[in-house]
């Protein structure tokens, strides 16, 4: 996968109004969408009433939809803290994976997520891949105990 002008090349882009100022990301934050299907999740993240978004959504069949350019703030982390920083939206790229929170992730979804993370890491000064549960402990459980960290942590050199 390639990134050009802060967007993944060759994936659908559906702009959301739920975004903020320019950022320099140093983290990738993994989430699950807790939605019944990809369309529902994407519609929610592009609805101004929701006040939430993410940079990317990856469906269970590996379809990637980008909602926010990587150099803009997406509203995925909420009240959050990590490594001395607060408000992780200002420091991270948010990736939502289609999952109700109780499902196993699919192989194609995970393989796509790994390729996406590799491209992001190659283009930005990413220091770590973390979970929503890491930056909002007790408040958010995603990406859940079924998330295979062993596939993602080695991507950070």
Q: Point out the residues that are catalytic.
A: 96
C-alpha closest to that of 68 among 55, 81, 77, 86: 55
Task: Name the residue among 45, 142, 37, 149 with its Cα closest to residue 98.
Answer: 37
Cis amide prior to 27 (ω within 30 degrees)? no
Helix or strand or coil: residue 103?
Answer: coil
On the CB side of 29, CA atoms within 13 Å amount to 32
């Amino acid at each position: 996968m390639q990134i050009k002008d802060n967007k993944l090349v060759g994936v659908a882009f559906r702009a959301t109004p739920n975004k903020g100022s320019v950022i320099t990301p140093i983290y990738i934050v993994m989430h699950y969408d807790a939605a019944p299907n990809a369309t529902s999740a994407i519609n929610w993240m592009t609805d101004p009433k929701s006040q939430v978004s993410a940079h990317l959504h990856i469906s269970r069949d590996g379809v990637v939809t980008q909602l926010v350019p990587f150099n803009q703030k997406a509203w995925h982390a909420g009240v959050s803290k990590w490594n001395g920083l607060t408000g992780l939206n200002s420091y991270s790229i948010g990736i939502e994976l289609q999952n109700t929170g109780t499902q196993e992730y699919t192989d194609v979804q995970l393989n796509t997520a790994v390729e996406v993370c590799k491209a992001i890491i190659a283009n930005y000064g990413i220091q770590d891949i973390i979970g929503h549960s890491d930056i909002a402990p007790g408040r958010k459980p995603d990406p859940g105990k079924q998330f295979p960290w062993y596939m993602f942590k080695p991507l950070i050199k």
